[in-house]
């Protein structure tokens, strides 16, 4: 099988050594998406602002790889402050609907970021 590295000019890029996404067959693995602009510059904001920017970046990366939020099968979420967990759970529902993807959430992590998400998805054209 071939490993693909999808992306387009609207896909956020990082100066760090990783690809925004890799695709193998119908599986898409998305690297951590945070509150950054398309050049990878961190955009500090409130917890809600950072989460929404991270989710929009995730959406862009998924679209460039032939998928979308409805085809996400697993998410890993990183929340810096425990006090943001109730807000995280509330905002998460704006992006993922039942039946929800499998999910792991870690807190008390991250440095200058308040939120980050990575995921595994399937390609839209391959969903049965």
Q: What pLDDT, in 10s, does the model give residues 34-86?
A: 999 988 899 999 999 999 999 999 999 999 999 999 999 999 999 999 999 99
45: domain CATH number?
3.30.1330.40
The total of structural domains in the chain comes to: 1
pLDDT of 123 above 60: yes
CA angle 57, 16, 12 (to 5 degrees): 20
| Pure H helices in 29-105 | 47-64, 85-92
The strand pair at 3-4 and 21-24 is best described as antiparallel
Q: What SS3 class is residue 117?
A: strand
Query: Tell me, what's the pLDDT at 128?
Result: 41
What CA–CA distance (Å, rounded) separates 41 from 34? Answer: 10
Please give the residue range of the domain that contains residue 31. 3-126
Tokens of 42: 């961190």
């Amino acid at each position: 099988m071939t490993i693909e590295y999808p992306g387009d000019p609207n896909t956020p890029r990082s100066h760090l050594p990783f690809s925004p996404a890799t695709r193998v067959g119908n599986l898409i693995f998305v690297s951590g998406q945070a509150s950054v602009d398309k050049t990878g510059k961190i955009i500090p904001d409130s917890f809600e602002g950072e989460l929404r920017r991270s989710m929009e970046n995730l959406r862009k990366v998924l679209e460039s790889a032939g998928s979308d939020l409805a085809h996400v099968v697993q998410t890993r979420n990183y929340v810096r402050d425990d006090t943001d967990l109730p807000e995280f759970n509330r905002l998460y529902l704006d992006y993922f609907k039942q039946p929800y993807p499998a999910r792991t959430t870690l807190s008390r992590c991250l440095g200058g970021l308040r939120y980050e998400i990575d995921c595994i998805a399937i390609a839209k054209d391959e969903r049965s």
